[in-house]
Structure 1
Amino acid sequence: MKKILLVLLIITSVSCKNEPKKEVKKETIVEVKKENFPEELSKVFEKHGGINTWRKAQILSFNKGEEAHTVDLKSRKTVVNSPKYSLGFDGKEVWLDEIEKGSYKGDPAFYHNLYFYFYAMPFVLADDGITYEKTDDLVFEGINYPGYKISYNANVGSSPDDNYKIFYNPKTYQMEWLGYTVTYRSKKASDQFKIIKYENWNNVNGLILPLEITWYKTDENGVPTEPAKPATEFTLPLISEGKLADSFFEKPKN
């Protein structure tokens, strides 16, 4: 709880300091490198607030149920806080701190950044070391959603064999669907894609991020059919151009 309050106080404080002032505007002018994305995918990023806005952000925070997820967008250091446990990545190691022993049932190495990737779509698909390839449209209820397959260069991240497919509205270029594979445990490439629908969005300091996501069942051809479970909701979103101290992402010293 202390860490949850701390991140809210720090980020809110930083956000207040970044209110429009002449001298602040001068300090925040940065030269953004030229990006090389497929034209259609560039339009998707622009629809969601633009790559320049994303590149300037330093800290992203959101809640999923009782969990508060906080991520340093440059280093990808992460903290997930809940009433019974905390876990995170301090830049070198993944750690777990349980208030009640045995209260966390998952795998911290797999989970610490899992929902960050789902929440920060489509912008995490602009990371370095990514290859883009046009893929077949996703068809749902008579509508064709064009898409791109995203794969990673070798030795990029903990699961470089993971693949994603992003599908967007052909008229508005807003992201509508995400397909993804999971290779963390098997370490083997897979062609079995799980499907998530994105349809409710929220403007968070200029970035359009999801309010909720819904996993869908698929048929034998991988086409989505109906929701597999209730939507996962995200609350208390925060984006800041300020930084948090490295110590924030370290395992608490008991």
Structure 2
Amino acid sequence: MKISFYAFVLLFFISCKDQDQKSSEKAPENRNIAPVLSVPENIEEAHNKVAFMEQEAITFDIDLSFNGNSRLNATISMLTNSSRIKLEKKDGTVLIFDGEKVFQQSGDRIDTGARFDIFTWPYFFALPFKLTDPGTMWEEKPDRDMEGQNYHTARLTFQSQTGDSPDDWYLIYQDPETLRLKAAAYIVTFNRAAEEAEKSPHIIVYENYKMIKQVPFPQKWHFHNWSAENGLGEKLGEATISNVHFFMPEKDFFSVSQDAKEVAR
């Protein structure tokens, strides 16, 4: 009986050691589990960024007004990587960003809001596809309520030397059901100090999404005052986005004419 007992104990420990070896052999498999996507990654995926970036260029019409007054009525065309932008106003003014500098191709006097217009409105349009661009920094934030609906949020800031206004920030609202971009609270530091801009943050709300070649685009933008304490505030303006389509630009589409005037920073 003693021999049988000791044999049983020996088999028990051998069995346990064998199980430990099998467990340790299986453990590395966990390293292949895909990480949970962040808010910006989820938004880019929900907006089908891959399909967007496969296209060469995109164009759209924008009819923008604030406080009941027309602010911008134009056609904006851009490469999907934002390295070239052309803004053609209905009054005949043409602005071009050639990848390095901004130019105005018409008019005797340079439009004081030229740089703001050619960068701001295309950025708002392409925002769902630019959330993980070089220079972006992210901080997850608590969910926030907006008009009775709960939204995931994350704060976007930028490394220095990123774009014209690296001190800007955005608080991104993500729709928890569609995972699309719902809104973005922001400050505008263009031509003013960040401390001054912090006193009047705004928010852009995206509505009426429409699919264009498997990519969703909002047809309505709404602008409101915004505060960290109260969220959505008084409505300030709105924009209608129409005639959205991808296209292949001609070789000289974004070329700058010889008589164009450079728009300085």
What TM-score comes out, normalization by structure 2 length? 0.71
Deviations for 1:45-91, whole angstroms, at most 9, x for unmatched residues? 2222x221132222121111341111123352111112421111122
3-state secondary structure, aligned to 2:116: helix
Gap regions ≥5 residues in structure 2: 1-34, 64-72, 260-265
Q: CA RMSD in A?
A: 2.5
Please report how far the alpha carbon of residue 237 of structure 1 lies from its aligned counterpart in structure 2 after TM superposition: 0.7
3-state secondary structure, aligned to 1:232: strand
**Residue of structure 2 in register with 1:53 after alignment:** 51
Given that 1:72 and 1:78 are in contact with CA atoms closer than 8 Å, whether structure 2 keeps it comes out as yes
1:93-112 equivalences in 2 (<5 Å): 93-99=101-107, 101-102=108-109, 105-112=111-118
Deviations for 1:179-217, whole angstroms, at most 9, x for unmatched residues? 111112125365453111112112122211110100123
Please report how far the alpha carbon of residue 177 of structure 1 lies from its aligned counterpart in structure 2 after TM superposition: 1.1
Aligned length: 213
1:168-179 equivalences in 2 (<5 Å): 168-179=174-185
Choose the corresponding residue for 1:62, options 44, 60, 63: 60
1:1-254 equivalences in 2 (<5 Å): 38-48=37-47, 50-65=48-63, 66-74=73-81, 76-82=83-89, 83-99=91-107, 101-102=108-109, 105-188=111-194, 190-191=197-198, 192-218=200-226, 221-229=229-237, 231-240=238-247, 242-245=248-251, 247-253=252-258
Please report how far the alpha carbon of residue 226 of structure 1 lies from its aligned counterpart in structure 2 after TM superposition: 4.2
**Residue of structure 1 in register with 2:28 after alignment:** none
**Residue of structure 1 in register with 2:15 after alignment:** none
Given that 2:186 and 2:203 are in contact with CA atoms closer than 8 Å, whether structure 1 keeps it comes out as yes
| Whole-angstrom CA distance in 2 between matches of 1:223 and 1:71 | 32
What TM-score comes out, normalization by structure 1 length? 0.74
Q: Read off the aligned partner of 1:64 and give its amino acid letter.
A: I
Q: Which has the larger radius of gyration?
A: 2
Please report how far the alpha carbon of residue 38 of structure 1 lies from its aligned counterpart in structure 2 after TM superposition: 4.3
Given that 1:71 and 1:78 are in contact with CA atoms closer than 8 Å, whether structure 2 keeps it comes out as yes
Q: Which runs of 4+ in 1 moved over 6 A?
A: none
| Whole-angstrom CA distance in 2 between matches of 1:216 and 1:160 | 22
Query: CA 1:150/1:186 → structure 2, altered by over 3 Å: closer, same or farther?
Result: same
**Bigger share in strand:** 2
Given that 1:88 and 1:108 are in contact with CA atoms closer than 8 Å, whether structure 2 keeps it comes out as no
3-state secondary structure, aligned to 1:199: strand
